[in-house]
Amino acid sequence: MTAVESYKRMWRIRLFEEVVDRLFGEGVLRGTSHLCVGQEATAVGTCAALRPDDYVTSTHRGHGHFLAKGGDPRRLMAELFGKATGYSRGRGGSQHMACFEIGFLGSNGITGGGIPVATGAALALQRRREERVVACFFGEGAANQGVFHESLNMAALWKLPAIYVCENNLYAMSTPVGGALAGPGVAARAAGYGVPGALVDGNDIFAVRAAASEAAARARCGEGPTLIECRTYRLLGHSRGDRRVYRTREEEAEWRARDPIPRLRDALLRSGEVTALEAERIREEVELEIRDAVAFARESPALPVEAALEGVYA
Amino acid sequence: MMEVAASEVRGAPEAAVPRAREVYFTEALQEALAEEMRRDPEVFLLGEDIGVYGGCFGVTRGLLAEFGPERVRDTPISEAALVGMAVGAAILGARPVVEVMFMDFVTLAMDQLVNHAAKFRYVYGEQARVPLVLRCPAGAGRAYGATHSQSLEAWFLHVPGLKVVAPATAADAKGLLKSAIRDDNPVIFIENKVLYQSRERIPEGEYAIPLGQARRVCEGGDVTLVAYSRMAREAERAAVLLAEEGVSAEVIDLRTLAPLDIGTVVESVAKTGRVVLVEEGTRTGGACAEIGVQIFEHAWDSLDAPIRRVTTPDIPIPFAPELEAAVIPAAADIAAAARALVET
Ligand SMILES: Cc1ncc(C[n+]2csc(CCOP(=O)(O)OP(=O)(O)O)c2C)c(N)n1
Of B208, B231, B248, the residue at which a domain comes to its end is B208
Task: Check: CB of residue B201 under 8 Å from CB of residue B22.
Answer: yes
pLDDT in tens, B150-161: 999 999 999 999
User: Which neighbouring-strand residues pair with B21?
Assistant: B202
Residue B274 lies in a domain: yes
Q: Residue B92's domain spans which residues?
A: 19-208
Same domain, B286 and B168: no
Q: What residue of A is the nearest CA neighbor of B322?
A: A305
Same domain, B143 and B288: no
CA distance A122 to A133: 6
Residue B5 lies in a domain: no
- Determine how β-strand B223-227 pairs with β-strand B249-253: parallel
pLDDT at residue number B344: 80
Q: Please name which of A123, A89, A143, A6 lies closest in space to residue A303, comparing C-alpha atoms.
A: A89
Same domain, B294 and B150: no
Same domain, B172 and B274: no
User: CATH no. for residue B323?
Assistant: 3.40.50.920
Residue A71's φ and ψ, nearest 5 degrees, are -65, 150
Q: What residue of A is the nearest CA neighbor of B314?
A: A309
CA distance A230 to A186: 9
Q: How far is the CA of A290 from the centre of ligand 1 (A)?
A: 27
Q: Which residues of A touch B144 (CB under 8 A)?
A: 31-32, 93, 95
- Determine how β-strand B223-227 pairs with β-strand B187-192: unpaired
- The reply to whether residue A90 touches residue B318, judged by beta carbons under 8 angstroms, is yes
- Determine how β-strand B133-138 pairs with β-strand B187-192: parallel
CA distance A208 to A228: 9
Cα torsion at A258, A264, A265, A270 (round to 10°)?
110
Q: Give the H or E element holding residue B218.
A: strand B215-218
pLDDT in tens, A51-106: 999 999 999 999 999 999 999 999 999 999 999 999 999 999 999 999 999 999 99
- The reply to whether residue B1 touches residue A95, judged by beta carbons under 8 angstroms, is no
High-pLDDT (> 90) share of chain A, %:
99
Q: Whose CA is nearest to atom 4 of ligand 1?
A: A111
High-pLDDT (> 70) share of chain A, %:
100
CA distance B250 to B226: 8
Q: What residue of B is the nearest CA neighbor of A307?
A: B323
CA distance A296 to A293: 5
CA distance A308 to B310: 17
Residue A75 C-alpha, separation from nearest chain B C-alpha, in angstroms? 14
From the CB of A142, is ligand 1 less than 6 Å away? yes
Instruction: Tell which of A34, A77, A96, A147 to mutate to test the B interface (max B CBs under 10 Å).
Output: A96
Q: Please name which of A180, A31, A36 lies closest in space to residue B52, comparing C-alpha atoms.
A: A180
Interchain contact B333–A (C-beta under 8 A) = no
Catalytic residues of B: 79, 148
Task: Check: CB of residue A93 under 8 Å from CB of residue B145.
Answer: yes
User: How confident is the model over B28-46, as a mean pLDDT?
Assistant: 98
pLDDT at residue number B10: 36
CA distance B222 to B339: 10
Q: How far is the CA of A137 from the centre of ligand 1 (A)?
A: 13
CA distance B117 to B98: 13
Same domain, B267 and B137: no
pLDDT at residue B13 greater than cutoff 90: no
Q: How far is CA A211 from CA A53, A234, B53, B212, in A?
A: 19, 21, 35, 58
User: CATH no. for residue B35?
Assistant: 3.40.50.970
Taking the CA atoms of B211, B213, B217 and B222 in sequence, report the sign of the dihedral they define.
positive
pLDDT at residue number A241: 85
Q: How far is CA B88 from CA A119, B93, B223, in A?
A: 31, 9, 46
- The reply to whether residue A309 touches residue B327, judged by beta carbons under 8 angstroms, is yes
Q: Which residues of B touch A32 (CB under 8 A)?
A: 1-2, 142-144
Q: Give the H or E element holding residue B333.
A: helix B331-343
Pairs from A269-277 (Cβ < 8 Å, separation ≥ 24): A271/A3, A273/A3, A273/A4, A274/A4, A274/A7
pLDDT at residue B2 greater than cutoff 80: no
Same domain, B251 and B151: no
pLDDT band at B1 (very low <50, low <70, confident <90, very high): very low
Q: Which residues of B touch A308 (CB under 8 A)?
A: 315, 318, 320, 323, 326-327
Q: How far is CA B322 from CA A271, A298, B312, B318, in A?
A: 51, 15, 14, 9
Buried b / exposed e across B184-216, counting CB within 10 Å, b at 16+? ebbbbbbbbbbbbbbebebeeeeebbebbebbe
- The reply to whether residue B145 touches residue A109, judged by beta carbons under 8 angstroms, is yes
pLDDT in tens, A152-210: 999 999 999 999 999 999 999 999 999 999 999 999 999 999 999 999 999 999 999 99
pLDDT band at B18 (very low <50, low <70, confident <90, very high): low
CA distance B201 to B189: 21
Task: Check: CB of residue A133 under 8 Å from CB of residue A223.
Answer: no
Q: What is the mean pLDDT of chain B?
A: 94
Asked whether this complex has an ipTM greater than 0.85, the answer is: yes
pLDDT at residue B229 greater than cutoff 90: yes
Interchain contact B326–A (C-beta under 8 A) = yes
Residue type, B13: P
Largest CA distance in chain B: 60
Q: Transcribe B220-241 into DSSP letters.
A: -SSEEEEE-THHHHHHHHHHHH
Q: Which residues of A touch B62 (CB under 8 A)?
A: none
Q: How many domains does chain B have?
A: 2
pLDDT at residue A38 greater than cutoff 50: yes
pLDDT at residue A224 greater than cutoff 90: yes
Could you tell me which residue, B177 or A241, shows the higher pLDDT? B177
Of B175, B208, B241, the residue at which a domain comes to its end is B208
> What residues contact residue B3 under an 8 Å CB cut-off, 6+ apart?
A241, A242, A243, B54, B56, B57, B58
User: How confident is the model over B203-229, as a mean pLDDT?
Assistant: 97
Q: How far is the CA of B337 from the centre of ligand 1 (A)?
A: 40
Size of interface A-B (CB pairs under 8 A): 134
Which residue of B52, B147, B322 is in closest CB contact with A96?
B147
From the CB of A140, is ligand 1 less than 6 Å away? yes
High-pLDDT (> 90) share of chain B, %:
93
Restricting to B residues 57-96, those with a Cβ less than 8 Å away from any Cβ of A are 74-81
User: How confident is the model over B218-226, as a mean pLDDT?
Assistant: 98
Buried b / exposed e across B131-147, counting CB within 10 Å, b at 16+? bbbbbbbbbbbbbbbbb
User: How confident is the model over B298-307, as a mean pLDDT?
Assistant: 96
pLDDT at residue B14 greater than cutoff 90: no
CA distance B165 to B226: 15
Residue B140 lies in a domain: yes
Interchain contact B142–A (C-beta under 8 A) = yes
Residue B11 lies in a domain: no
Buried b / exposed e across A15-33, counting CB within 10 Å, b at 16+? bbbebbbebbeeeebbbbb
Q: What residue of B is the nearest CA neighbor of A173?
A: B49
From the CB of B77, is ligand 1 less than 6 Å away? yes
Q: How far is CA B221 from CA B36, B198, B231, B274, B292, in A?
A: 40, 29, 20, 9, 19
Same domain, B169 and B255: no
Same domain, B168 and B47: yes
Same domain, B169 and B186: yes
Of B180, B208, B236, the residue at which a domain comes to its end is B208
Instruction: Tell which of A111, A148, A168 to mutate to test the B interface (max B CBs under 10 Å).
Output: A111
- The reply to whether residue B1 touches residue A32, judged by beta carbons under 8 angstroms, is yes
Burial of A299 (0-12, 13-18, 19+ CB in 10 A): exposed
Same domain, B50 and B194: yes
Q: What is the mean pLDDT of chain A?
A: 97
pLDDT in tens, B113-126: 999 999 999 999 88
Instruction: Tell which of A76, A87, A145 to mutate to test the B interface (max B CBs under 10 Å).
Output: A145
Residue of A13, A111, A239 to mutate, ligand 1, most atoms within 8 A of C-beta: A111
pLDDT at residue B284 greater than cutoff 70: yes
User: How confident is the model over A277-297, as a mean pLDDT?
Assistant: 98
Q: Enumerate chain A positions whose Cβ falls within 8 A of a Cβ in B.
A: 30-32, 79, 82-83, 88, 90-96, 109-112, 141-142, 144-146, 172-175, 179-181, 238-243, 245-246, 302-303, 305, 308-309, 312
CA distance B199 to B169: 9
User: How confident is the model over B45-74, as a mean pLDDT?
Assistant: 97
pLDDT at residue number B15: 46
Same domain, B63 and B181: yes
Residue B225's φ and ψ, nearest 5 degrees, are -110, 120
- Determine how β-strand A171-172 pairs with β-strand A162-168: unpaired
Residue B101 lies in a domain: yes
pLDDT at residue B215 greater than cutoff 80: yes
* Superfamily of chain region A3-302: Thiamin diphosphate (ThDP)-binding fold, Pyr/PP domains (3.40.50.970)
pLDDT in tens, A24-33: 999 999 999 9
Same domain, B237 and B153: no
pLDDT in tens, B127-140: 999 999 999 999 99
Residue B6 lies in a domain: no
Residue B92 lies in a domain: yes
